[in-house]
Amino acid sequence: MRILVRYILKEFLPPFFIALICFTLMLIFNDLFRLTKLFVQKGVSPLYLIELLIYVMPATLVLSLPMALLVAMLLALGRLSTDNEIIAMKAHGIAFHQLMLPLLALATALSLVDLVLIDYALPQANVAYASLQRDIRRHKPAFILEEATVMKELENEGKLWMYESMDEKSGRMQNVKIWDNIWGGRPRFSHAQEASLGFEDGRALLTLYDGHTYEPSVGNLDEFRVTQFQQQRLSLQLTEDLERSEFLNRNPRSMRISELKTFIGTLKASLQTSKNKDYTLRKILSAEVEFHKKFSIPFACFALGLMGVPLGLIVKKGGRMFGFGIGLAVIVVYYLLLQVGQNAGMNGMIPPALAMWLPNIVIGICGAAFNFWMIAEGKIQAWRDRDTQLPIVVGRKAAS
């Protein structure tokens, strides 16, 4: 039995690590291209790009582990099946469950690894990612400022601003709009034809050219005073050097399981006294969906493993590529069900628990049915051959 387990692991591990690398790169490419484009255009140090990509890795590995497990099972068992090694094992008395149990044990172990990633590594990585991105934006607002897009990173300081386009020759922003003191009860709006951003003595200064300022009158808030200016400078609370700061993100994706459970309890307790019950209820549904997702995605390793063992043994004529194609089809179905369930759970159409466990239930039932069919087929075949006997050849003694 130990020899069989080592042999199966030897066939499984190489395609598993190759598939894990491939799926991780496929999932991270979108973030890689998006961040690379921003860093190249905005002139931010590439070291921060590498750091952001490191923080994205846990979220990517959480999804790629189940996919790599299924594909590796199909490729490994498909190779054994196409080379008739499965038939040789059966001929030596190795039953189906002896092949299945080591792989399901490995799938269970990977489920635990995925659970650790999603409960420990993922929340910390999300907080670190949001913190670094926030600090970069405070240091270099152009990092996220796109044409005709309102920048809300200074919203806590009471400022919103945007520009319509960038003059390639002068490097100045065109048609700039600024909303200032939006939380102070006396908002001020400035509209300038051009603007430039610079730093002096560590302070960020936005210089506006040729514009107007609109602010409410002192005695009557319904009246506005309009001031025309040729040049005006506004101070922004940004730093010339990137300062790393502590950042607390109360997003459910950035919470551990215990914290998320407490957060859901707090929301439910405040539901009766909430002034906007619909908003609070949506937050509860979203948090509950995230809570059950932290368990359902790791368990996908076991569910997909339950499906992968019989499918891998069925693959014969198609070979490796046929098994890879089947694996991709199952993965697409799983994550399609996961996305549909997530949307339905957040909208309250079905309970969040059922919404997030639906893909595992569907794939698990199909996998259990395939396994039962494989075991039953072997028993039926053995029952059919119970009376089969080898022909006895009686030789006659040669005449002397």
* Structural domain boundaries in the chain: 2-137+276-383, 148-239
Burial level of 163, CB count in 10 A (0-12/13-18/19+)?
A: buried
Instruction: Specify the pLDDT at position 240.
Output: 44
- What value does the mean pLDDT take over residues 186-210? 78
The overall average pLDDT reported for the chain is 77
Q: How confident is the model at residue 221 (pLDDT cuts 50, 70, 90)?
A: low
Helices (H), 189-318: 257-269, 277-314
Distance in angstroms (rounded) separating the CA atoms of residues 212 and 391? 106
Among the listed residues 90, 80, 110, the one whose alpha carbon sits nearest the alpha carbon of residue 323: 80
Most confident option among 97-101, 219-223, 287-291, 325-329: 287-291
Q: Summarize the confidence of residues 60-82 as an average pLDDT.
A: 86
Which residue has better confidence, 200 or 383? Answer: 200
pLDDT band at 30 (very low <50, low <70, confident <90, very high): confident
User: Where residue 243 falls among pLDDT bands split at 50, 70, 90?
Assistant: very low
In this structure, how many other beta carbons lie within 10 angstroms of the beta carbon of residue 376?
11
* Least confident piece of the model among 150-154, 206-210, 373-377, 378-382: 378-382
- The mean per-residue pLDDT over the stretch 279-292 comes to 87
Q: Would you report the helix, strand and coil content of the chain in percent, each value rounded to 5?
A: 60, 15, 20
Average pLDDT over residues 261-279: 81
Q: Name the band, by pLDDT with cuts 50, 70 and 90, for residue 242.
A: very low
Given a contact cutoff of 8 angstroms between Cβ atoms, the answer to whether 72 and 304 are in contact is: no
Strand order in the sheet with 188-200: 159-166, 173-180, 188-200, 203-216, 224-239
pLDDT at 247 over 60: no
- Higher pLDDT pick, 246 / 132: 132
Alpha-carbon distance 173 to 143, whole Å? 14
pLDDT over 80 (residue 230): yes
DSSP code per residue over 201-225: TTEEEEEEEEEEEEEE-SS-TTSEE
Give 257-269 pLDDT, tens digit per residue: 888 888 888 888 8
Residue 313 has pLDDT above 60, yes or no: yes
pLDDT tens, residue by residue, 320-377: 666 677 778 888 899 899 989 888 888 888 899 999 999 999 998 988 888 888 777 6
Q: What is the pLDDT of residue 318?
A: 54
Structure-block tokens of residue 187: 């908002």
Contact 231, 206 (CB under 8 A): no
The rounded percent of the chain whose pLDDT value lies above 70 is: 74
Note the pTM of the prediction, 2 decimals.
Answer: 0.66
Tokens 């065109």 belong to residue: 174
